[in-house]
Structures are given as structure tokens and as C-alpha cells.
Amino acid sequence: MTPLWGAVLLAGLACLVIKLAGHVLPEHWLAQPRVARVAALVTVALLSALVAVQTSTSGGQVVVDARLPALGVAAVALVLRAPFVVVVVLAAATAAGLRLLGMP
């Protein structure tokens, strides 16, 4: 077994243990405001990490291509409270336009 598969199995086991802990722990522990706040922040952190990795890497290498400016346009549109469909269309149009101009 390669180290990569060992890490995958270990991560899967950790996820299983965390899920089981949610069923075993007393409900009043999980109902505390601090636990809810941490759970919300973990969700945001994981989604942010996923977006960062998918935007700035390709084949295990860090790359700067049309996805990065498109992400910036999407972030500005979200700050301006544009509807989600508009955010997606703006980001896609930005990436397509930059690729049309020759940016990888």
C-alpha cells in the first residue's frame, strides 16, 4: 500500500469517527452556541480551501491562469450582492474572454 492510500484510508477513518461522535455525544453538548459557531466556520474554511485549490492548481502545480481573475470577478460580484446566477455568468465570461485573448 502506498503512503497516499494510507492517508486516504486514515482520512476516511477520521471522518467515520467524527460522524459517529455526533451520534454518541449528548445532545446538549452539541446544542451549545460555541459548537454551532465552530461548525459553521469549519464549513466555510473547507469550502474556501476547495475553491483555492481548484482555482490555483493544475496537476499538482501552482498555476496562474484565467481562473484566478474569474474568481476575483466572482468575489466582487458577491460583495456587490449580485444574484448567484449573475456571479457564475460573470466569472465564466471573464475566464472565457481571457482565454480568448490568449491567457492559459
pLDDT at 1 over 90: no
Q: Can you tell me whether residue 36 is helix, strand or coil? A: helix
- Provide the pLDDT for residue 96: 96
- Provide the pLDDT for residue 39: 84
| pLDDT tens, residue by residue, 54-101 | 988 888 888 989 999 999 999 999 999 999 999 999 999 999 999 999
By DSSP bridging, strand 61-62 and strand 57-58 are antiparallel
| pLDDT tens, residue by residue, 4-57 | 899 999 999 999 998 898 888 888 887 889 988 988 899 899 999 999 899 888
69 in Cβ contact with 90 (< 8 Å): no
Select from 18, 54, 21 the least CA-distant residue to 10: 18
- Rounded CA separation 89/35 (Å): 36
